[in-house]
């Protein structure tokens, strides 16, 4: 719930704002102020997430107040609500979060609240638990629901390849050589760009952006951000937990996906499991 | 000291170089590309992942709103700054969700404010 308040010297502007916010279930309208001193007194004992300020008011202007508030309550997002467009440049300089032209519409206010909500979410956001399966076939499950990614074939393969690297930095060259081995460098890089775009978009749409990291000329996935049978199986191998190995090993590594780069990994797993079986 | 990487999206090479020259006076800012075509810019943006992309607003050849939308939908962490001689774009920057607006002509003070905000606190 976002705690908000508005300061405006015009009574009807306050009334309109109140009626617009009534339909929003995720906000709590904590105050309608027509005097800056009353707002400042309120803030001495109460906290707010957002303050909506008119700019042209008798006495202290919205600009002056925004400057003052950014010093005393830097955590509060300030939004200007005004009939004038010419203060927008100064508003940016004052780090004002948003600038809404009067009359305030529910649609425009929603946009502001969503932007602020997103910003706050990134701090307290708990990622959805993603589970990736690599043995038998590559599969992504979000909250137990399978996302086949069949419409994103290469993005799926890129994700699988990065998972197989187990969090290691992987250069563009390593990726293009694996995913487009017969393609010339320029075309392969172009494909990598499109594929990365699609993968990042899919991750972003599913609030999973945190599993993918990029730095200059390389990408990696972040193993701590998701569960994966590949990592579980490796742990089970280290611990010699044969029961768990038999549960996790449901088929060969990416068996049904037919990725050429995966064949050596399949062979390596087959060798390890044969060795383990031979020890029995 | 770590550099802050930035890119510029502007079809006018002269204006682009002039801005780049002013920003590069600050040691912490490093231009990693300037582009006049949207696709080229986006391609490089997603690969290089600069901290800031400066987009000229007011040229039909390069739609600033489209660039902003496409950068933000995939890489919301990248700060997008509109710059223009036309101050009306400052309001549009707010409407569309840009992170900052730099009015042109940019003097030392306005550039300094931009640097301080997005490029000055990386040590």
Please tell me which residue, B47 or B41, carries the higher pLDDT value: B41
The DSSP H or E segment spanning A141 is strand A139-142
Residue B53 within any structural domain of the chain = yes
Nearest alpha-carbon partner for A116 in A90, A96, A94: A96
Range of the structural domain that residue B26 is part of: 4-113
**CB spacing of A193 vs B47 below 8 angstroms:** yes
**CB spacing of A204 vs B74 below 8 angstroms:** yes
Mutation target among A70, A78, A80, A88 for the B interface, most CBs of B within 10 A: A88
Taking a contact as any Cβ pair under 8 Å apart, which residues of chain A between 227 and 256 contact chain B? none
Residues 6+ apart with CB under 8 A from A1: A26, A27, A28
Residue B23 within any structural domain of the chain = yes
Residue B119 within any structural domain of the chain = no
Mutation target among B73, B81, B86, B91 for the A interface, most CBs of A within 10 A: B91
The burial of A61, by beta-carbon neighbours within 10 Å (0-12 exposed, 13-18 middle, 19 or more buried), is given as: middle
CB contacts of A101 in chain B (<8 Å) are 91
Mutation target among A66, A93, A100 for the B interface, most CBs of B within 10 A: A93
The chain-wide mean pLDDT, for chain B, equals: 85
Whether B123 shows a pLDDT value over 60: the answer reads no
C-alpha to C-alpha distance for A27 and B37, rounded to whole angstroms: 41
Percent of chain B clearing pLDDT 70 (strictly above): 92
Residue B120 within any structural domain of the chain = no
A93 near B CB under 8 A? yes
Q: State the DSSP string of chain B.
A: -PPEEEEEE-S-HHHHHHHHHHHTTSTTEEEEEEESSHHHHHHHHHHH--SEEEEE-SBTTB-HHHHHHHHHHH-TTSEEEEEES-THHHHHHHHHT-SEEEESSP-HHHHHHHIIIIISS--
- pLDDT at residue B120, as a whole number: 56
C-alpha to C-alpha distance for B23 and A98, rounded to whole angstroms: 26
Radius of gyration of chain A (CA): 27
- pLDDT at residue A178, as a whole number: 94
**Which CATH number does the domain housing residue B24 bear?**
3.40.50.2300
Residue B92 within any structural domain of the chain = yes
Residue A178 contacts residue A219 (beta carbons within 8 Å): no
Picking from A88, A190, A216, the nearest residue to B90 by CB comes out as A88
B93-120 pLDDT per residue, tens: 999 999 999 999 988 888 888 887 776 5
Q: Which residues pair with A141 in a beta bridge?
A: A131, A146
A110 near B CB under 8 A? no
In the block, residue with structure tokens 């309208």? A29
Whether B122 shows a pLDDT value over 50: the answer reads no
- pLDDT at residue A82, as a whole number: 94
Radius of gyration of chain B (CA): 13
Max Cα–Cα distance, chain B, nearest Å: 38
Q: Which residues pair with B109 in a beta bridge?
A: none
Domain count, chain B: 1
Residues 6+ apart with CB under 8 A from B47: A172, A193, A196, A214, A217
Which domains, from first to last, does chain A contain?
2-124 (3.40.50.2300), 130-279 (1.10.10.10)
Max Cα–Cα distance, chain A, nearest Å: 87
Torsion of CA A227, B51, B78, A192, to 10 degrees: -60
Residues 6+ apart with CB under 8 A from A6: A14, A17, A29, A31, A32, A33, A51, A52, A53, A81
Nearest alpha-carbon partner for A80 in B99, B68, B94, B118: B94
Residue B15 contacts residue B34 (beta carbons within 8 Å): no
Residue B122 within any structural domain of the chain = no
Give the nearest chain A residue to B81 (CA atoms). A92
In the block, residue with structure tokens 């494909």? A191
Cis peptide bond prior to A103, omega within 30° of 0:
yes
- pLDDT at residue A147, as a whole number: 82
Residue B121 within any structural domain of the chain = no
A262 Cα to chain B: minimum distance (Å) = 25
- pLDDT at residue B46, as a whole number: 79
CB contacts of B117 in chain A (<8 Å) are 95
How many Cα atoms occupy the beta-carbon half-sphere of A201 within 13 Å?
14
A217 Cα to chain B: minimum distance (Å) = 7
Q: What is the mean pLDDT of each run of 10 residues along chain A (280 residues)?
A: 91 91 88 91 89 92 90 88 93 92 91 76 51 92 80 91 92 92 87 86 82 83 90 87 82 90 90 76
Residue B19 within any structural domain of the chain = yes
């Amino acid at each position: 719930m976002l705690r908000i308040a508005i300061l405006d010297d015009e009574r009807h502007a306050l009334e309109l704002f109140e009626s617009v916010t009534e339909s929003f279930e995720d906000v709590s309208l904590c105050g309608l102020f027509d005097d800056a001193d009353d707002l400042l007194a309120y803030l001495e004992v109460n906290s707010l997430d957002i303050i909506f300020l008119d700019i042209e008011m008798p006495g202290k202007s919205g600009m002056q107040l925004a400057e003052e508030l950014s010093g005393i309550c830097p955590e509060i997002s300030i939004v200007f609500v005004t009939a004038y467009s010419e203060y927008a440049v100064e508003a940016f300089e004052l780090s004002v979060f948003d600038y809404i032209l009067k009359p305030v519409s529910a649609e425009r206010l929603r946009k502001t609240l969503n932007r602020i909500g997103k910003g706050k979410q990134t701090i307290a956001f708990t990622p959805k638990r993603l589970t990736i399966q690599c043995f038998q076939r590559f599969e992504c499950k979000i909250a137990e629901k399978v996302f086949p990614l069949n419409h994103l074939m290469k993005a799926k393969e890129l994700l699988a390849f990065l998972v197989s690297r187990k969090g290691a930095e992987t250069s563009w060259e390593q990726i293009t050589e694996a995913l487009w081995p017969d393609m010339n460098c320029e075309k392969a890089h172009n494909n990598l760009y499109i594929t990365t775009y699609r993968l990042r978009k899919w991750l972003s749409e599913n609030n999973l952006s945190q599993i993918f990291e990029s730095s200059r000329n390389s990408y990696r996935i972040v193993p701590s951000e998701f569960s994966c049978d590949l990592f579980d199986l490796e742990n089970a191998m280290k611990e010699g937990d044969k029961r768990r190995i038999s549960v996790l090993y449901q088929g060969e590594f990416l068996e049904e996906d037919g990725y050429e780069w995966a064949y050596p990994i399949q062979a390596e797993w087959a060798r390890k499991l044969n060795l383990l079986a031979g020890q029995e | 000291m770590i550099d802050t990487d930035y890119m510029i999206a502007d079809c006018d090479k002269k204006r682009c170089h002039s801005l780049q020259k002013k920003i590069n006076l600050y040691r912490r800012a490093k231009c990693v590309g300037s582009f006049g075509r949207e696709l080229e810019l986006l391609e490089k943006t997603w690969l290089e992942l600069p901290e800031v992309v400066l987009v000229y607003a007011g040229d039909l050849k390069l739609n600033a709103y489209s660039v902003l939308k496409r950068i933000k939908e995939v890489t919301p962490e990248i700060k997008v700054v509109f710059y223009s001689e036309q101050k009306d774009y400052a309001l549009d920057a707010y409407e569309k969700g840009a992170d900052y607006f730099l009015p042109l002509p940019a003097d030392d003070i306005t550039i300094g404010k931009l640097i301080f905000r997005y490029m000055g606190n990386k040590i």
